[in-house]
A and B are shown apart, each in its own frame.
Chain A
Amino acid sequence: MYKKPSRRALMRGKLPRPDLVPIMDSVFIFIFFLLMSASFIKIFEIPSDVPFFSENTQPENKEKPLALTIRVTETEIQILTGLPMTLLKNIRKLNPKDYDLSTLHDSLLALKKKYPKETMAILEPEIDLPYETLVQIMDEIRLLRKTDPEFYVKDKTGQEKRLKALFAEIIFGNIQS
């Protein structure tokens, strides 16, 4: 015949439950701290420096400087290189509104392949561009996307380092004008 288990027997089978109250307290404090420092809109920055003009003679360099300049006109984007500047490529607008930014990016990738150590680009918009278009052009000049080829340069220790940006330093060449 089935016998009802005694209370002591039932107690023996019980597992001790951990006291979660202190953990809950600390987690609650942590949540408030995170709520205070959370940013729900992602805001970033695009750095740029003021151009400096020096009258001193430059030290002699065996490698020819790239001196990459990107000029934005009413109808096209011009890629100029070298000193004195020579026109490398003209990129016509796709339509009266939009610039051909993918061709600009591809052309800059080809240049980066030749000059992997170059990081600076001079941007010279010659027309009254809206700020949004300017940011789009700056993105194409600066950023390396996941689908882009990888570039490596040797650092001071001789180890190869993967580049994270295309031409990261953008300088506005005509803010004085």
Chain B
Amino acid sequence: MRNARSIRKRGYKHRIAIVDLDITSLLDVIVILLVFLLKSYNSSGVTINVPPGITLPKSESSNLNTTGVSVQVSPTTIWVDDKVIYDINKSANISIYDQDKRRIIPLYNELMKKKNMVNRLEKASPQAQKFTGVVNLMIDRTIKYNYIKKLLHTSAQAGYLKYKFVVMGAIQD
């Protein structure tokens, strides 16, 4: 009896139903995600890294960022391309200024090093990126103008003649 039943049901066992998934809702989610990501797409191609301790000021400017050497300045530290070049906690007693306290020596040395490196590469390979003289200044919003003046003067002395003040967009969508 048992054998007879199994023979009768053999056909059903072999007929495996293919589950047809409805992916319409998944497609909807992906399309929404795609639109959101396209809106936040960074077309400038420049990656800006704001170190901890720096709060950028808000601005209504809409100029896209350009490539250049990054000088990041917090109330206690100065970075050049994410490398700490001066920390007030570690070298508080050392004088870092010259030229009537107008030039910041560690910043000048690091900027010159970067400039010389680009110039060397330029000589070695004609296809290498040329020295643009652009300096991206990421300055904390509490820093005072007297200190900013020193940064600008030092950059100009090192041959960086185009300042780009990096700011946060006033309207964040």
Q: In terms of DSSP, what is the predominant structure of the interface of chain A? A: mixed
CB pair A132–B57 under 8 Å, yes or no, is yes
Flag B106-147 by CB within 8 Å of A: 1 or 0 each: 000000000000000000000000000000100111111110
CB pair B40–A139 under 8 Å, yes or no, is no
CB distance from B160 to the nearest CB of A (A): 8
Chain A residues lying within 8 Å of B156, measured Cβ to Cβ, are 50, 175
5 tightest Cβ-Cβ pairs between the two chains A and B:
A42-B169, A34-B37, A39-B42, A132-B141, A132-B57
CB pair A45–B34 under 8 Å, yes or no, is no
CB pair B149–A49 under 8 Å, yes or no, is no
Residue A38, interface by CB 8 Å: yes
- Chain-B contact segment, one of A5-13, A60-68, A80-88, A123-131: A123-131
Chain B residues lying within 8 Å of A34, measured Cβ to Cβ, are 34, 37-38, 41
CB pair A43–B165 under 8 Å, yes or no, is no
Residue B89, interface by CB 8 Å: no
Contacts of A38-58 to chain B: CB distance below 8 A: 38-50
* 21 A-B residue pairs with CB within 8 Å: A20-B27, A31-B33, A34-B34, A38-B37, A40-B40, A42-B168, A43-B169, A46-B59, A46-B167, A47-B162, A47-B164, A49-B161, A50-B152, A50-B156, A128-B144, A130-B142, A131-B141, A134-B148, A139-B59, A175-B149, A176-B153
CB < 8 Å neighbour of A30 from B34, B40, B62, B140: B34
CB pair A45–B61 under 8 Å, yes or no, is yes
B171 nearest in chain A by CB position = A42
Contacts of B63-81 to chain A: CB distance below 8 A: 63-66
Q: Do A172 and B169 contact each other (CB < 8 Å), given the known contacts A39-B40, A128-B144, A135-B57?
A: no
CB pair B148–A37 under 8 Å, yes or no, is no
Q: A24-B27, A45-B136 are known; give 5 further A-B pairs, CB within 8 A.
A: A38-B42, A39-B41, A44-B167, A128-B145, A136-B57
